[in-house]
Chains A and B, each alone.
Chain A
Amino acid sequence: MSYSASELMTITAARMLYDGCSVFAGVGLPLLAGILAKRLHAPGLQMIVEGGIVDPEVIPGWLPYSTNEMRLAPRATMLPGITDTFLLAQRGFLDFGFVSGAQIDAYGNLNSSVIGSYNKPKVRLPGSGGANDIASLCRDVIVVAAHEKRRLVPAVDFLTSPGARVRHIITNLAVLGFDAERRVRIDILQPGATLEQVLDETGFELLVPERVPTADPPAEAELTALRALDPDRVWL
């Protein structure tokens, strides 16, 4: 079965989530990854969405456009206030948090604020939203982003979200990780991608271990379950 880059990244993310874990998920691919994992292999996984939702189930075809709307309410177990969702993360209850950014550097630092200078930006991006908080407060942070040289940069123009807790960077070409000295390295190649391609599309230096395994391609069961969640292809 062929698949899109978004499908590949979502399935890669879902595979990292284990039964019983807790996930701070934004809308789009992270939410899909959480729901997919829950349906496939992690029935006891619980998600928190920053708009104030605990353990949403979401109706296929009615995926939310924001983290704080009615589409996240069906069969949720609690609707706390927004500040209280972040307080759960600050207290240590959230195992995984997903973030992304327009720029990511070799330390996992992310920029979703401005391209150029803050006071006179070339591009004003939407802003942190909860990204800084998720990156600051969840135990393990997973970055999901398209693998592009202009995105994986030597230095971010603005450090919106700190990379200190980033454990994995999932892209359509690879999964990057960090060694004990927090140097970024390539851990896994995505199916079909080559090492040359990854190095070409990365704007910072990457450690390359002697052997880099290739991930299993998305299985039919994974793709079928994922596509059933987003039949209108809003996110995939």
Chain B
Amino acid sequence: MKAGDFRDARRRIEAKRRPSGERLMSAAGAARLVKDGDQVIIGGCMFSRTPMAILHELLRHGRRDLVISRNLSWLEAELLMVAAATKHLVTSWQGLGVPWGLSRILREQVEGGHARFEEWSHFAMGLRFRAAAMGVPFLPALTMLGSDLMKVSQAKTVECPFTGETLAAIPALFADVAIIHVHRADRFGNCQIDGYSHMDEDICRAATTVIVSAEEILPEDEVRKHPDRTKIPSLVVDAVIEAPFGAYPGECYGLYETDFAHVDAYAQATRASGAQAVQEYLRRYVYGVSSHAEFMGLFQPDVLRDRQAAAKELTS
């Protein structure tokens, strides 16, 4: 899809046949909604509410040539690049976290010419999703002006029709698919998110097809009793899958903290042996299991309890 092509993006939404009611399905069913070559927006931010359960499922389905957009990218980007699911990241940042330093995988992939890093600022990524969510071709902004990011991205400058000032024109990012992880959803796709919403509300309106994994499936009555808690309406959602610990080894606000020991072990392995370590990780944690539940079975129950206790302490 061309950046900012709001008419085409709107036509796609208008032409959609929404499911009647029920959107609850299997992870495999949801993965089949994603086609090779699709533009995919990943929700959450870095290691917070990263939809790992669905992303692992996409990898098991062998998806190829996805264009992956995310505000700040994390471990998932390394898995997707090494598995050859993507050769094109649209993001403002990639790494495991500041203390872990530069990512050897990102360096190998981009410096070796295997993957393209299309860089925008963090705010610009947010405005791209917001513009798309608003159904307009771009938003004017005061960011990125005078930087080389203007030269390597599709951002342009525009003269303000009122003041004559030069503004950045940040084009809408319309995507084929958005994938997010939330705390609770009902089987129709009404979603509740606790704590940080990141950019998920905009992301879900920016894509033609929206896939949601949820820690818990709520009865419809619960949603109707508290409509103020719904952050994303059923109207924009196409698929819901139930995935307890669906953002693991990352965090889900109030429920479990990131498994930093796991991330640290991954970081050390990739620092030592690069892509080979990612391949081994994929064999063990992604291809070596058939479901997210099986993946979670690879972690010690006391580790999970500890991560849950940490989340509780931080948010209560």
A129 & B93 in contact (Cβ 8 Å cutoff): yes
List the B residue with the shortest CB-CB distance to A86: B123
Quote the shortest CB–CB distance from A24 to chain B (angstroms).
Answer: 11
| A73 beta carbon closer than 8 Å to chain B | yes
Among the listed stretches B31-39, B44-52, B61-69, B233-241, which one makes contact with chain A, having 4 or more residues with CB under 8 Å of it? Answer: B44-52
Q: How many angstroms between the C-alpha atoms of A118 and B257 in the bound complex?
A: 35
| B299 beta carbon closer than 8 Å to chain A | no
B111 & A122 in contact (Cβ 8 Å cutoff): yes
B197 & A66 in contact (Cβ 8 Å cutoff): no
Quote the shortest CB–CB distance from A18 to chain B (angstroms).
Answer: 25
A160 & B199 in contact (Cβ 8 Å cutoff): no
A66 & B46 in contact (Cβ 8 Å cutoff): yes
| B110 beta carbon closer than 8 Å to chain A | yes
List the B residue with the shortest CB-CB distance to A50: B122
A132 & B95 in contact (Cβ 8 Å cutoff): no
A-facing residues in B105-155 (Cβ within 8 Å): 106-107, 110-111, 113, 117, 119-124, 126-127, 129-130, 141-149, 152
Q: Is the interface of A mostly helix, strand, loop or mixed?
A: loop
| B57 beta carbon closer than 8 Å to chain A | no
Among the listed stretches A77-85, A168-176, A195-203, A214-222, which one makes contact with chain B, having 4 or more residues with CB under 8 Å of it? Answer: A77-85
Contacting residue for B198 out of A52, A71, A130, CB 8 A: A52
List the A residue with the shortest CB-CB distance to B121: A132
Q: How many angstroms between the C-alpha atoms of A94 and B196 in the bound complex?
A: 21
Q: How many residues of B contact A (CB 8 A)?
A: 58
A81 & B201 in contact (Cβ 8 Å cutoff): yes
A-facing residues in B259-316 (Cβ within 8 Å): 260, 311, 314-315
Interface centre among A69, A71, A131, A159 (most CB of B within 10 A): A69
Quote the shortest CB–CB distance from B42 to chain A (angstroms).
Answer: 14
| B192 beta carbon closer than 8 Å to chain A | no
Known A-B contacts A125-B102, A129-B72, A133-B121; the reply to A52 vs B197 at CB < 8 A is: yes
A-facing residues in B81-114 (Cβ within 8 Å): 91-95, 97-99, 102-103, 106-107, 110-111, 113
> What 1/0 mask marks residues of chain A from 115 to 127 whose CB sits below 8 Å from any chain B CB?
0001011111111
Residues of chain B contacted by A122 (CB below 8 angstroms) = 111
B122 & A133 in contact (Cβ 8 Å cutoff): yes
| B213 beta carbon closer than 8 Å to chain A | no
A132 & B195 in contact (Cβ 8 Å cutoff): no
Q: How many angstroms between the C-alpha atoms of A10 and B201 in the bound complex?
A: 36
Residues of chain A contacted by B71 (CB below 8 angstroms) = 82
Residues of chain B contacted by A74 (CB below 8 angstroms) = 314-315
List the A residue with the shortest CB-CB distance to B314: A70
A-facing residues in B190-232 (Cβ within 8 Å): 195-199, 201-202
List the B residue with the shortest CB-CB distance to A123: B107
How many residue pairs, one in A and one in B, have C-beta atoms under 8 Å apart?
A: 172
Q: How many angstroms between the C-alpha atoms of A9 and B146 in the bound complex?
A: 28
Interface size class of A (residues with CB under 8 A): 35 or more
A133 & B103 in contact (Cβ 8 Å cutoff): no
Known A-B contacts A69-B258, A133-B121; the reply to A126 vs B48 at CB < 8 A is: no
B148 & A27 in contact (Cβ 8 Å cutoff): no
| B244 beta carbon closer than 8 Å to chain A | no
Q: How many angstroms between the C-alpha atoms of A28 and B98 in the bound complex?
A: 8
Q: How many angstroms between the C-alpha atoms of A83 and B146 in the bound complex?
A: 21
Quote the shortest CB–CB distance from B211 to chain A (angstroms).
Answer: 20
A130 & B92 in contact (Cβ 8 Å cutoff): yes
| A3 beta carbon closer than 8 Å to chain B | no
A70 & B253 in contact (Cβ 8 Å cutoff): yes
B98 & A123 in contact (Cβ 8 Å cutoff): no
Q: How many angstroms between the C-alpha atoms of A164 and B95 in the bound complex?
A: 28
> What 1/0 mask marks residues of chain A from 67 to 109 whose CB sits below 8 Å from any chain B CB?
0111101100001011100100010000000000000000000
Quote the shortest CB–CB distance from A93 to chain B (angstroms).
Answer: 13
Could you name 10 residue pairs across A and B whose Cβ atoms are closer than 8 Å? A62-B314, A81-B126, A82-B45, A82-B198, A121-B110, A125-B102, A127-B119, A131-B121, A133-B143, A136-B144
Chain A positions near chain B (C-beta within 8 angstroms): 27-28, 50-53, 59, 62, 65-66, 68-71, 73-74, 79, 81-83, 86, 90, 113, 118, 120-133, 136-137, 158-162, 164, 234-235
Chain B positions near chain A (C-beta within 8 angstroms): 45-48, 71-72, 91-95, 97-99, 102-103, 106-107, 110-111, 113, 117, 119-124, 126-127, 129-130, 141-149, 152, 195-199, 201-202, 251, 253-254, 257-258, 260, 311, 314-315
